[in-house]
Structure 1
Amino acid sequence: MNSAAGWTSGQPKMRILYEDNHLLGIEKPVNIPTQEDASGDADLLNLLKEDIKERYQKPGNVYLGLVHRLDRPVGGAMIFAKTSKAASRLSDAVRTRKFAKSYLAVVHGQPQESRGRLIDTLLKDERTNTVSVVAAGTPGGKEAMLDYTVLGTSGKHGLSLVQIELHTGRSHQIRVQMNQLGCPLYGDQKYGARVNKPGQQIALWSLYVGFPHPVSKEPVDLVSYPPAQFPWDQWETRIYAQVAENLVSSGHI
């Protein structure tokens, strides 16, 4: 099966972006953990295993490999491996940077430069599950790098729409690095509490995931647009569509 549409069978229903015998690409709903965590809440990995088991009447345990992660409050395009071979090859693609990820974010304020590259050293505190920017060479610190492009501004609300491409996959990377730049993400209670209100949904979305298929080597492109609600609705959908089209057509990987 090779599907670019459809929905999973369980609750919550999730849009299927791509599926064949090797891969499952879905649109992750917000506020669901990618994998089991201390909250004990239903997690995406196990929900999808149950879905595959139900849709295909599979007996016993279902294999599903986690290739990359999205923070709990983040939604959008995400790929899983349905075989161990696919998981291994996709992990190689991530390691050799043949696995492209592009995000959309709404941030407070406007970066001084319309585009740029951010390179920081990040250190995670496992006890508090928070990440901070530290001096290069700090024990345990890891280099984090991303590119950003400002796509538009909303003067009425003092917000900017930014496209972000990750070159490393550090925990909370986009949230921490954009906050360090002076432009915390809209709705981010952890790193932007000074400008956000409790209850606001973080405005970070996985727009695009692209990689060579682990078996056929043909390009696979997953695209997911953010919801038509504030603050995303401050910009026309055509802007999101144009960015996605450019990523797909440019041979992004």
Structure 2
Amino acid sequence: MEELMINITEEQKGERIDKVISAIDEEWSRSQISNWVKDGHIKVNGETVKPNYKVRLEDEILITPPLLEELDAEPENLNLDIVYEDEDVLVVNKPKGMVVHPAPGHASGTLVNGLMYHCTDLSGINGIVRPGIVHRIDKDTSGLLMVAKNDLAHASLVDQLVEKSVTRKYIALVHGHIAHDKGTIDAPIARDPKERQKMAVVDKGKHAVTHFTVLERFGDFTLVECRLETGRTHQIRVHMRYIGFPLVGDPKYGPRKTMDIGGQALHAGVIGFIHPRTKEYLEFSAPLPAEFEELLETLR
């Protein structure tokens, strides 16, 4: 990753530097960032600081991540929930809190570690750190992912993502009462020019479209199904915030006062694609995790 300069916002003022920077990328752990601070890879106003440094409003923070050493992903028995598998593709139901592939601060316990234990044949297009990985979902988002078991399958699934022919439906709980039953958000997404650790709707951003349908209303909260037409980073989280209905529990895009549920209430419930070899359309669904269902029962 290239150097990144960030400026402190009013909301971040007084927070520990390791907490502020860990919010930039969900795959950076606070322990990893603490080491970067100690090793001088993170400087405040040109000076080295301690990991417990409290940031100030006028601070300029320069992050120069160390050159990544090639991470060797080791197989781990993580008891993955495999929804479907054949010689070409695999569909897995990722639990909330699991990172998709190894990264600095997350060398183990990732979906890739579990996949390597489960099967030895994974596509090599994305190298040894991301074998089989065609697309990602955020660490704290649960739900379905396609995995390619060979390069032919990988190329086919990527082509389908580019052509926007993959069915991807998510369930999200948002703040606010959405009065209308359906809607489409067509708004380009790019890195937020004011807060580089976030994505935002930006005029010159990449084309992004989300279709949503209201499933249930709970006073100050609404349960929606979001269908992705494109797959930008944090797309649903950014788009729902943009129209005034941020996701419950979202530490990055939610309101300051939201439920502490360990991350955004978002579940990738349905995925559908053309099988790379048979050309048959396959579609899979995964029920909401127990904690998500319990949250909805509480609201009901």
TM class, shorter-length:
0.7 to 0.9
The Cα shift of 1:62 comes to 11
Unaligned runs of 5+ in 2: 1-74, 122-127
SS at match of 1:65: coil
1:151 maps to what in 2? Answer: 215
Indicate the RMSD between aligned Cα atoms, in angstroms. 2.6
Between the two proteins, what is the percent identity of the paired residues?
Answer: 33
Given candidates 240, 253, 258, the residue that maps to 1:196 is 258
- Judged with a 3 Å threshold, the aligned counterparts in structure 2 of structure 1 residues 66 and 181 are, in CA distance, closer, same or farther, namely same
Aligned residues of 1:189 and 1:197 also touching (Cα < 8 A): no
- Give the TM-score taking structure 1 as reference length: 0.77
For residues 82-97 of structure 1, the aligned pairs below 5 Å read 82-97=149-164
- Judged with a 3 Å threshold, the aligned counterparts in structure 2 of structure 1 residues 167 and 232 are, in CA distance, closer, same or farther, namely farther
2:147 maps to what in 1? Answer: 80
Number of paired residues?
A: 216
Distance, in Å, in 2 between the alignment partners of 1:71 and 1:45 is: 14
- Give the TM-score taking structure 2 as reference length: 0.66
Amino acid at match of 2:172: A
Distance, in Å, in 2 between the alignment partners of 1:118 and 1:63 is: 31
Amino acid at match of 1:130: K
- Judged with a 3 Å threshold, the aligned counterparts in structure 2 of structure 1 residues 196 and 233 are, in CA distance, closer, same or farther, namely closer
SS at match of 2:152: helix
SS at match of 1:162: strand
Does 1:130 find its partner at 2:198?
A: yes
- Judged with a 3 Å threshold, the aligned counterparts in structure 2 of structure 1 residues 132 and 149 are, in CA distance, closer, same or farther, namely same
- Judged with a 3 Å threshold, the aligned counterparts in structure 2 of structure 1 residues 83 and 102 are, in CA distance, closer, same or farther, namely same
Amino acid at match of 1:149: T
Alpha-carbon displacement from aligned partner over 1:33-62 (angstroms, at most 9, x marks no partner)? 1122233242212321132149xxxxxx89
Whose radius of gyration is greater, 1 or 2? Answer: 2
Given candidates 267, 276, 281, the residue that maps to 1:205 is 267
Alpha-carbon displacement from aligned partner over 1:133-192 (angstroms, at most 9, x marks no partner)? 22x2x3xx112111000011123xx21110000011100010011011111101101001
Given candidates 85, 94, 105, the residue that maps to 2:172 is 105
After the TM superposition, list the runs of 4 or more consecutive aligned residues in structure 1 that deviate by more than 4 angstroms. Answer: 125-128, 230-233
The Cα shift of 1:234 comes to 2.2
Distance, in Å, in 2 between the alignment partners of 1:10 and 1:34 is: 13
Given candidates 265, 278, 290, the residue that maps to 1:228 is 290
Alpha-carbon displacement from aligned partner over 1:6-43 (angstroms, at most 9, x marks no partner)? xxx95432211000010111100111111222332422
SS at match of 1:66: coil
The Cα shift of 1:112 comes to 3.5
Aligned residues of 1:35 and 1:44 also touching (Cα < 8 A): yes
- Judged with a 3 Å threshold, the aligned counterparts in structure 2 of structure 1 residues 232 and 92 are, in CA distance, closer, same or farther, namely farther
Distance, in Å, in 2 between the alignment partners of 1:16 and 1:231 is: 21
